Chain A
């Protein structure tokens, strides 16, 4: 009985789409990232922590704009490469970091992460060993349950062992043995060896970024830079997760998050430039567990709220403001005075996941639960 060699395509996916999920941990203030335009209510409740109307980077004639610290992303909006979603978030009313992150990464009160489930249940391609990576120290919940996911600390993560002649020799002999294999492992081995070869090449060349892109020297930008190299090398990378932490601005919000916004914006802009036309098949989603209280507190910070902001870059974005920025009038706020969730974050993710090969029903990725 011979096993059929079906259900497998080149894991090196020359036509591969890659989804990059950036999680802003701590609850990033949506009203700072994406401030309202033309809403006096905003200035009434935020006497110190608001962005002056003339400094807000306008998004066409939308009633919200971008924080000036995100200026490196602003031109992308005009070029159709960035979409902005204000007042977006969870249906659940939790204001706990842990619970909200968990819910958002799981895609509801269910087990496993939505990105992990996406990889397991998207159209029938077999995943490659390098299909999903988490850049950082640990595996985030969003990737839990993925068919293959690796925490990548450096390019050296992807190799068969300490570099040297003996490892190369084993690699060669494995290639020989598997090339004789009549089972479905034959083509799988060929793909794996090809991907390894491409990573090996990356490691040895250490080429500068393309298109004159310049990355900052911080862990976020470094992560994006590695991701861009792997995407360019076509090793079968379908999902990347990386975090930008430190958004929990109860105190002195402006000094805390302005530099974070620059890191975010510069990192993403460099990534976009580096990948150039490849960005057509790459989508970057920026999300956070919740937005923050509309009214500032007595220590120039803000407390946990609800509606936050999302950014989507690349892929098939058309450069739009999706959803609605509500008026910040007392009667329209929710709970202790928070931005209402006008858009469920899952509704933002669904069309993106479909572009990346999810089956149309989505039942496996975002199950309907009580």
Chain B
């Protein structure tokens, strides 16, 4: 019943917005939206009441970029018990296509460069592509209802890291983001891996395009082959040898991508004459001579089915969602599901959230990385963001700007490398709460307080638990609840 009513409302609103859009330019699109009151009515704010972080807050901390004020009550209401609510939330989030997400989709539509067909991306200035891609990433993380999907996009962007500043990645990373990462973020790992292996940006980033073997004297370029084994599949202790790296490089030789100066720029193609077509042995399995471009599929199949891949991916996901040093049992449990499901990412995630360690283990002990801190603050404070560029400045100061990590291993996902970022976290928290970040970002602390039923409610809403006496005393002394809460130790953790 409820869903039907909601749909009708949004359809009607959509028509109204469409009419509005015809009158206004696209750049004013967001204001039109606000003017027409497009938002589906938000539920009431009922903050957590426990002294510790309960399962709902824990789940929202880990499976999303942090709760908005009303999200806690909404998710809690999805089930009779918190465990039931968790299941229902995962059901919802693991079918992202069924979640209405017009608001975020509309907000990213104005970034036209990132929606362009591959070859046309070269027509944009490289700095515009980076700007639009970064802004879209912030918009989606902050505003999308498909939170777990966006969290996984964030995860895979690190796993298959591409620094946009290398050569033609400047133009091609946006396509990689769209067609590789977002397209397969909750799909099958093998599809994601294959898409990445044949991604024009990846072929540039890890020099796959230079991997040629045209005659006996030429040596294949091993860069991608090595990272494919070390970082994308088996992991550094995954049991492969230097010989395996060389054999994989031979298998992948001949795949290249057309450069900027050519027709069909960005097009990936296989050059049989540059492929080493002899027989190879990869991780003990023989690949017969004459396989040509099919060598790639054979290699990827061997890697996806290898138990080390299941274990390595399981470990990384446990580090992301459970703890910096997850228990071996959790990793093994998740790895088992990875193997059994053939790398079905939604099933693997269910396994992660179903581990005893996730359900009963430590809460609030994963340090938010700067991007996560920033987005969780914007969500928690219901900030109205007109332009994201000032946020990017903060991310650069904290060394966590999307698509700008220089080496293929992606931004670290544990606490210790990020402890030097407190100054800018505090700076951001204070500026945000005081509306001093710039004219493009606004919060309304008065409204937040009212909605949450006062200062303690706001604190509980942001911290995921009721404030302790020290926090209350500090808020009292400063008289700036929002600034202090966002800058406080508790809010740095998820």
Residues of chain A lying within 8 A (CB to CB) of residue B478: 166, 169-170, 173
Contact B163 A112 (CB under 8 A): yes
- Tell yes or no: B293 within 8 A of A by CB: no
| Subset of 9 A-B contacts with CB under 8 Å | A1-B362, A11-B420, A160-B430, A161-B431, A169-B477, A170-B426, A176-B474, A177-B488, A185-B492
Bound CA span A112–B483, Å: 34
- Tell yes or no: B43 within 8 A of A by CB: no
Contact A160 B470 (CB under 8 A): no
Contact A111 B406 (CB under 8 A): yes
Q: Which of A120, A139, A151 contacts B406 (CB 8 A)?
A: A120
Residues of chain B lying within 8 A (CB to CB) of residue A131: 420
- Count of chain A to chain B residue pairs whose CB atoms are closer than 8 Å in the complex: 154
- Tell yes or no: A89 within 8 A of B by CB: no
Residues of chain B lying within 8 A (CB to CB) of residue A364: 407
Q: A8 and B223 in contact (CB under 8 A), knowing A1-B323, A169-B477, A169-B478?
A: no
Contact B404 A112 (CB under 8 A): yes
Bound CA span A130–B420, Å: 8
- Tell yes or no: B399 within 8 A of A by CB: yes
Bound CA span A113–B361, Å: 40
Contact A141 B165 (CB under 8 A): yes
Residues of chain B lying within 8 A (CB to CB) of residue A141: 165
- Tell yes or no: B25 within 8 A of A by CB: no
Residues of chain A lying within 8 A (CB to CB) of residue B361: 1
Residues of chain B lying within 8 A (CB to CB) of residue A370: 207, 210, 221, 223
Q: Which of B169, B427, B477 contacts A161 (CB 8 A)?
A: B427
Binding site secondary structure of chain A = loop
Contact B396 A139 (CB under 8 A): yes
Q: A185 and B419 in contact (CB under 8 A), knowing A111-B165, A116-B406, A161-B436?
A: yes
The minimal Cβ–Cβ distance linking A45 to chain B, given in whole angstroms, is 34
Residues of chain A lying within 8 A (CB to CB) of residue B404: 112, 144-145
Contact A117 B422 (CB under 8 A): no
- Tell yes or no: B83 within 8 A of A by CB: no
Contact A146 B399 (CB under 8 A): yes
Q: Quick one: which of B305-361 are within 8 Å of A by CB?
A: 323-324, 361
The minimal Cβ–Cβ distance linking B433 to chain A, given in whole angstroms, is 10
- Tell yes or no: A136 within 8 A of B by CB: no
Bound CA span A188–B492, Å: 12
Stretch at the interface among A189-197, A213-221, A264-272: A189-197
Residues of chain A lying within 8 A (CB to CB) of residue B116: none
Contact A129 B406 (CB under 8 A): no
Residues of chain B lying within 8 A (CB to CB) of residue A166: 478-480
- Tell yes or no: B296 within 8 A of A by CB: no
- Tell yes or no: A328 within 8 A of B by CB: no
- Tell yes or no: A106 within 8 A of B by CB: yes
Q: Quick one: which of A151-182 are within 8 Å of B by CB?
A: 151, 158-162, 166-167, 169-170, 173-174, 176-178, 180-181
Contact B416 A7 (CB under 8 A): yes
Q: Which of A3, A6, A196 has the most CB of B within 10 A?
A: A3
Contact A162 B436 (CB under 8 A): yes
Q: Which of A130, A147, A159, A160 contacts B399 (CB 8 A)?
A: A147
Q: Quick one: which of B29-80 are within 8 Å of A by CB?
A: none
The minimal Cβ–Cβ distance linking A37 to chain B, given in whole angstroms, is 40
Bound CA span A189–B423, Å: 8
Bound CA span A196–B422, Å: 11
Q: Quick one: which of A103-123 are within 8 Å of B by CB?
A: 106, 109-113, 116-117, 120
A112-B404, A141-B165 known, 9 other contacts, Cβ within 8 Å: A1-B361, A110-B166, A145-B406, A148-B420, A148-B424, A158-B423, A160-B427, A185-B367, A192-B422
Bound CA span A196–B487, Å: 15
Contact A128 B420 (CB under 8 A): yes
Interface string of B398-413 (1 = CB under 8 A from A): 1100001111000000
Contact B406 A178 (CB under 8 A): no
Bound CA span A11–B427, Å: 18
